[in-house]
Amino acid sequence: MKTKIWIALVALYIVWGSTYLAIRFAVETIPPFFQAGLRFLIAGVILFIWRRLAGDALPTRNQWKSAAIIGSLLLGGNGLVSWAEQTIPSGVAALIIGAVPMFLVIAEAFRRGGVKPTWRVVIGLLIGFTGIYLLVGPSEFSGGMKLNPFGVAALLSASFLWALGSIYSKNADLPSSALMLTGAEMLMGSLSLFVVSLATGELRGFSFSHISTNSWLGLAYLITVGSMIGFVSYAWLLQNAPISLVATYAYVNPLVAVLLGAVFLHEELTVRILAASVIIIGSVIFINSGNRPRVQKEAKIGDQLSVISDQ
């Protein structure tokens, strides 16, 4: 069993760490929100049909409503990541998104009846946001690499949306099957992405004939490997491995994304990026280690994080 757990865990590290690279290829010639909508619509249909054939119950009306709210928040965040990766290196995007647990702590603190952060967690937050500032701060301070401020704002907004979606899910009426829940969220979230795509006018002048081979391959990878294999591995791990071990994907994925971006897209891998990586990921580990007993009690939230972390 231990061997199977580590095989699934390593697969999760590589699969979800590589989705940032796949997004970068996909948005080269496919409008970002439309691309995300297509991805999650197709993956959602496949998951939904599979789980129905496997005997999972249909979500109730209230559960569809919850799936619509959560899916719109979580997958809307994914659309923002796709939009940001038009101007932000994929590895940098992964590092900023790697700070999602920090936003979760803040959102939880402001939730009615939520858990207030300890001093240890507050220190971890200060360290983590220092790492983000090192990564995205003024170029004269951080080594000359300029980042698009709108792209950075979109990534930070995505992190905030994911935090809101995750916190909302804690008390929502949801299907008992994690994969049926994921499929429902994908279906409902994809509709929101298509609405945003139309509202922003990103489809003006767009034609499927203009999509490059790289973008088609990137989209196909996101649907099949990123969404299907990633979710199945994650769902299996939730049932067969300790939550604290499964949660390590959040630390490893950004590093995988940074390395893949450097190898395949020749993105900069500077001392600044490496230092920010250590600070941000270290702060997340520091924060989570202080909350470990609570994290292990709240396995339900892990089902939502499968959508959050699938980039």
Confidence of residue 202 (pLDDT cuts 50, 70, 90): very high
* CA nearest neighbour of 92 among 284, 261, 251: 261
Confidence of residue 183 (pLDDT cuts 50, 70, 90): very high
Query: What's the chain's length in residues?
Result: 311
Both tokens of 188, joined, read 């409902």
With beta carbons less than 8 A apart as the criterion, state whether 107 and 164 touch.
yes
In one-letter notation, the amino acid at residue 141 is F
> Residue 21 to residues 128, 141, 210: CA-CA distances in angstroms?
24, 27, 20
The pLDDT, as a whole number, for residue 251 is 83
Q: Give the chain's mean pLDDT.
A: 87
Across 84-93, 94-103, 137-146, the highest mean pLDDT is recorded for 84-93
Cα(37)–Cα(189) distance, rounded to whole angstroms? 8
Cα(77)–Cα(150) distance, rounded to whole angstroms? 14
Confidence of residue 250 (pLDDT cuts 50, 70, 90): confident
pLDDT(55) > 50? yes
Ordered by start, the domain boundaries in the chain are: 2-309
The pLDDT, as a whole number, for residue 258 is 93
With beta carbons less than 8 A apart as the criterion, state whether 40 and 75 touch.
yes
The DSSP result for 117-149, as a single string, is PPHHHHHHHHHHHHHHHHHHS-HHHHTS----H
* CA nearest neighbour of 270 among 150, 153, 144: 144
The pLDDT, as a whole number, for residue 145 is 65
pLDDT(144) > 70? no
Q: What is the pLDDT of residues 60-93, one digit of tens each?
A: 999 999 999 999 999 999 999 999 999 999 999 9
What b-and-e string marks burial along 213-243, b requiring 16 or more CB atoms within 10 Å of the CB? eebeebbebbbebbbbebbbbbbebbeebeb
pLDDT(290) > 50? yes
Q: What percentage of the chain exceeds 90 in pLDDT?
A: 52
Burial label for 176, CB within 10 Å (0-12, 13-18, 19+), is exposed
